[in-house]
Chain A
Amino acid sequence: MATPIRKSVELFYDVVSPYSWLAFEVMCRYQQKWNIDLKLRPFFLSGIMQGAGFHQPGPSKASYMGKDLKRQTDMYKVPFKMPRNPAEVILIKGSLNAGRFLTAVDMNCDQYLEELTRQLFLRVYYRDEDITEPASLMSAAAKAGIPEDLAKQLLSTIKDQAVKDRLRETTQAALDHGAFGSPTIVAHVDGKPQMFFGSDRMELMAHMLGEKWYGPLPELAKAKM
């Protein structure tokens, strides 16, 4: 009996983007429920903003997003806490080293990519901890179960041209799909790529993939505090 071919779903994300954490956790839960092949594609949000342009949210929108994130993450049982200075986290400190480290892991030992992603999100959006310094990345790697020697070796490659190029290529691939922010999900449906922005098109994506939407599925939550 033929097994149906798994549908490819790419999740382009940057760990400095809070809605990306929501999308990431939901997709990790649904890869157990749906006939999909989830491909995690760490990219660089700053590159997306440069490529597609950016409207900085005004104070009322920024205030709303804080409330919205709390309500959505409560409903989805993702342990989100807004950092004291989100503008500094996102716009000043940024995610270049984190993005390159994730890329190095993706290139060499992608079995750790999901958990390293989760640990970086927990650092920045649960514990309000740094994700730019080498010590921060090593700490996240340890919690993700990456052996210390391997983590050290991968960290030493983050300024290598191959790693920089790969992060740039992934970011460009998202831009080529029409991305303008994070998260960007590309579901391959009947041979056609369908790009979805944000963490709130899951029910629609289910409909297009011919799958069933079960809601937040909190019982499948993996992010532990």
Chain B
Amino acid sequence: MAALRSRKVVELFYDVISPYSWVAFEVLCRYQTRWNIDLQLRPFFIGGVFKETGNKPPALLAAKYTYAQHDLRRLADFYKIPVKMPPMERLMRRENVNSNRLLTAVTLDCPEHLENLSRELWMRVMARDQDITEPASLETAATAAGIPSDTTPQLLSRIRDDDVKAALKDTTNQALAYGAFGAPTIVAHIEGTPVMIWGSDRFPLLAHLLGERWEGPLREMAKY
């Protein structure tokens, strides 16, 4: 009997305020059914990465921000993901960390909801230009993601807990230890060696490293 090929771990470090992280997230969610991978979602805090590395948010360069608006419009069509570059005011809000902390709380307490809640937060901030910082916004998102409404108040209160803040910091530090300087950061574990890839435009390379095949955007698998 042939030995079972063990699945290769692929970690996705992402922040829901990062539009390109949404592209990477959806592509990897589609490909986890095609490739022999174990996709691990690792919500982190891009603000912490910028602070530690001194790397500047691309949006601060006007020409890059303008370009990203066009680029995302085209990628939205190509991948069938309703992603739009948010207005600068939303991108730069310090309170965005609340959504990172909520996702961290979900990772700790009810990880079965992590994928759906991540997607719902992106839908709010990227597709519908809605807030993701206020408690009421986060409660709406949690309910829309299928988290039972009797558990959401307790989950929301976890945003202020020390263990949640520490876990978010820890995940961010793990990404930094892999050499991260931006979002998304993908870490593929190839024969015991972690290979860090930045961005949502290295999927053919990732396929090559995993010994898999890149089959394009797989629009037919879009959840939209």
Binds B, one of A133-141, A142-150, A193-201: A193-201
Known: A71-B205, A180-B67. A60 touches B56 (CB 8 A): no
Whether A60 contacts B179 by the Cβ 8 Å rule is yes
Q: Does A72 contact B (CB under 8 A)?
A: yes
Q: Does B160 contact A (CB under 8 A)?
A: no
- Specify which chain B residues have a CB less than 8 angstroms from the CB of A208 in the assembled complex: 74
Whether A53 contacts B74 by the Cβ 8 Å rule is no
Which 3 A-B pairs rank lowest in CB-CB distance, beginning with the nearest?
A: A180-B63, A52-B63, A200-B201
Q: Does A224 contact B (CB under 8 A)?
A: no
- Specify which chain A residues have a CB less than 8 angstroms from the CB of B205 in the assembled complex: 71-72, 75
Q: Does A110 contact B (CB under 8 A)?
A: no
B135: min CB distance to chain A, Å: 35
- Size of interface on B: residues with Cβ below 8 Å to A: 32
Q: Does B183 contact A (CB under 8 A)?
A: no
Question: Can you report 15 residue pairs joining A to B where beta carbons are below 8 Å apart?
Answer: A53-B62, A55-B58, A60-B53, A60-B180, A61-B53, A61-B55, A63-B179, A64-B179, A178-B70, A180-B63, A194-B70, A195-B70, A197-B67, A197-B71, A207-B78
- Specify which chain B residues have a CB less than 8 angstroms from the CB of A180 in the assembled complex: 61, 63-64, 67
A52: min CB distance to chain B, Å: 4
Q: Does A215 contact B (CB under 8 A)?
A: yes
- Specify which chain A residues have a CB less than 8 angstroms from the CB of B63 in the assembled complex: 52-53, 178-180
Q: Does B155 contact A (CB under 8 A)?
A: no
Whether B67 contacts A195 by the Cβ 8 Å rule is yes
Q: Does A162 contact B (CB under 8 A)?
A: no
Known: A61-B181, A63-B179, A64-B179. A204 touches B54 (CB 8 A): no
A78: min CB distance to chain B, Å: 14
Footprint of A on B, CB under 8 Å?
53-56, 58, 60-64, 66-67, 70-71, 74-75, 78, 179-182, 196-199, 201-202, 204-205, 208-209, 216
How far apart are the CA atoms of A49 and B202 in the complex, in Å? 25
The residue of chain A having its C-beta at the shortest distance from the C-beta of B61 within the complex is A53
- Specify which chain B residues have a CB less than 8 angstroms from the CB of A204 in the assembled complex: 74-75, 78
Name the one of B180, B197, B201 contacting A201, with C-beta atoms under 8 angstroms: B201
The residue of chain A having its C-beta at the shortest distance from the C-beta of B56 within the complex is A55
A202: min CB distance to chain B, Å: 10
Name the one of A63, A68, A196, A215 contacting B204, with C-beta atoms under 8 angstroms: A215
Whether B61 contacts A55 by the Cβ 8 Å rule is yes
Chain A contacts with B in 173-225, Cβ cutoff 8 A: 178-180, 194-198, 200-201, 203-204, 207-208, 213, 215
How far apart are the CA atoms of A194 and B75 in the complex, in Å? 13
Whether B196 contacts A64 by the Cβ 8 Å rule is yes
- Specify which chain A residues have a CB less than 8 angstroms from the CB of B53 in the assembled complex: 58-61
Chain A contacts with B in 23-65, Cβ cutoff 8 A: 52-55, 57-61, 63-64
Name the one of B55, B67, B199, B216 contacting A58, with C-beta atoms under 8 angstroms: B55
Which residue among B61, B67, B198, B208 has the maximum number of chain A CB atoms within 10 Å of its CB?
A: B67
Name the one of B60, B66, B196, B197 contacting A178, with C-beta atoms under 8 angstroms: B66
B169: min CB distance to chain A, Å: 18
The residue of chain B having its C-beta at the shortest distance from the C-beta of A204 within the complex is B78
- Specify which chain A residues have a CB less than 8 angstroms from the CB of B201 in the assembled complex: 198, 200-201
The residue of chain A having its C-beta at the shortest distance from the C-beta of B199 within the complex is A200
How far apart are the CA atoms of A197 and B208 in the complex, in Å? 23
B188: min CB distance to chain A, Å: 12
